[in-house]
């Protein structure tokens, strides 16, 4: 069974583990993006023929992103992409109130966490909408966060980060809505799902983890390896009924 995956933000953390674990199956074709090839040492060191690394910054203009895809996807994925995993994101100094956040903070986080995935989806759509793969439904997975919930609001400050993830969740719902009117059955029956990856011990999350009373909040931390493994299991088990739902890495469904 050959499935083609496209993962953004794969040079470290959850994204790296997704690329590592998915490419461990030689039947899979995996595209892994990084903002800088020079900083993708761990990805390069995997040295797998089915893993293709692309320099691809989601904050770049749409036309730049489109151009970056042409050669690698035409060469290594002539039948298109089956599963898009929109993992690239940032969280900087987010443990503040709305009064404390700045316009620059908001602009940066929206640009990467909400607008970036829109541009990735637009640039990948010609490849994702190609031929039906009888072995899997077309899927788009948004690595979001419970910090973006409107319902079930998380009781700690997330200032500019939380709103950017709330916007990302709306983008996911809108894509699911758009696809219901597609003329292509495999797009009409695609599965669009934002997920909460857990509170993962990554370089990006260390600041937040250190500032929270996790025991009082009944929140546990997990490793990138655990998160990626759970996400892959979740992706493999998705069915049409899961489209336009929010799912945690452990399978819990949320009202969001």
Positions marked active-site: 161, 165
How would you class 152 by CB atoms within 10 Å of its CB: exposed for 0-12, middle for 13-18, buried for 19 or more? exposed
Q: Which residues have C-beta within 8 Å of that of residue 214, sequence separation ≥ 6?
A: 199, 220, 221
Task: Please give the biggest Cα pair distance in the chain.
Answer: 52
């Amino acid at each position: 069974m050959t499935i083609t995956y496209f993962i953004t933000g794969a040079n470290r953390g959850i994204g790296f583990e997704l690329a590592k674990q998915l490419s461990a199956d030689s039947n899979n074709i995996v595209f892994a993006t990084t903002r800088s090839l020079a900083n993708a040492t761990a990805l390069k060191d995997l040295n797998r023929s089915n893993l293709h690394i692309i320099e691809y910054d989601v904050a770049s203009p749409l036309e730049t992103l489109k151009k970056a895809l042409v050669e690698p996807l035409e060469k290594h994925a002539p039948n298109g992409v089956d599963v898009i995993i929109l993992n690239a994101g940032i969280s900087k100094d987010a443990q503040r109130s709305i009064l404390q956040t700045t316009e620059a903070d908001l602009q940066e986080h929206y640009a990467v966490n909400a607008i970036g995935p829109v541009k990735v989806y637009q640039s990948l759509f010609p490849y994702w909408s190609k031929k039906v793969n009888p072995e899997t439904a077309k899927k788009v997975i948004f690595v979001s966060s419970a910090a973006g919930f409107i319902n079930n609001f998380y009781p700690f400050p997330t200032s500019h980060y939380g709103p950017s993830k709330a916007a990302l969740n709306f983008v996911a719902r809108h894509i699911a809505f758009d696809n219901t009117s597609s003329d292509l059955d495999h797009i009409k029956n695609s599965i669009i799902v934002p997920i909460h990856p857990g509170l993962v011990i990554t370089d990006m999350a260390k600041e937040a983890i250190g500032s929270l009373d996790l025991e009082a909040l009944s929140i546990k931390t997990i490793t990138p390896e655990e998160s990626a493994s759970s996400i892959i299991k979740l992706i493999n088990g998705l069915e049409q009924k899961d489209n336009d739902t929010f799912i945690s890495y452990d399978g819990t469904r949320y009202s969001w």
